[in-house]
Amino acid sequence: MTPRVGVMPQPPKRLARIAAEYLARGWPAVRLAAPRNGRCQCGDTCAQPHLLDEEPIRTSDEAEQNWGEFEIAFTTQLFEVLDLPAHPGVALNAALTNRCPTAVARPGRRFDTLLEPGPVRWHFYLSRGSVDPEKVTRAGGRLHCGPDGWIAAPPSRTPATGRVRWNVHPMQTLWRPHRPASIFES
């Protein structure tokens, strides 16, 4: 089997339905323009993925009508996202045992994250202010937070993230970000 080159976009109607579901649950979905093969969906020659809208689309109907071929991102105005590399991410995921909405980003990988941790990134959706940014940095991670922050949302695909998928779907946590006493001691 020949490996795929590049990143294939998701079908537009599917992305619109998924974005509509996020919006119906109160999750701040925004259209994400992802450059592919030297061209960006926004029409410019952008090198990096970027938000197409300054504000999240507000309703499910708006999403279904306006999404098009764009990927999905979440703005981090209502929650923050702890972005960790493979090894600390695997350990934290095991410790949280399905109590936290968690996504996995796999650039260029099709393997199980436990068998091939390589460049896999783990995204933990947390209540705002629940993690110390200095501890995140010491763990080799990044904290996506604040009104200007954003992160690619499942099932988006970008050259930088590869495919992003849910490991613990927000439905399993009743669509609530995790509120730990201390995320690094959970």
* Residue 108: HSE in the Cβ half-sphere, 13 Å Cα cutoff: 6
pLDDT tens track of the chain, all 186 residues? 333 444 455 566 889 999 999 999 999 999 999 888 878 888 888 888 999 987 778 888 888 888 888 899 999 989 999 999 998 999 999 999 889 999 999 876 454 444 544 588 999 999 998 888 999 999 899 999 988 899 999 999 888 888 899 999 999 999 999 998 666 554
3-state helix, strand, coil in the chain (%, to 5): 25, 25, 50
Count of CB atoms situated within 10 Å of the CB of 38:
8
Is the Cβ–Cβ distance between 119 and 129 less than 8 Å? no
Is the Cβ–Cβ distance between 116 and 162 less than 8 Å? no
C-alpha distances (whole Å) from 107 to each of 36, 114, 118 are: 14, 15, 9
Residue 135, sorted as left (phi over 0), alpha (psi -120 to 50) or beta, turns out to be alpha
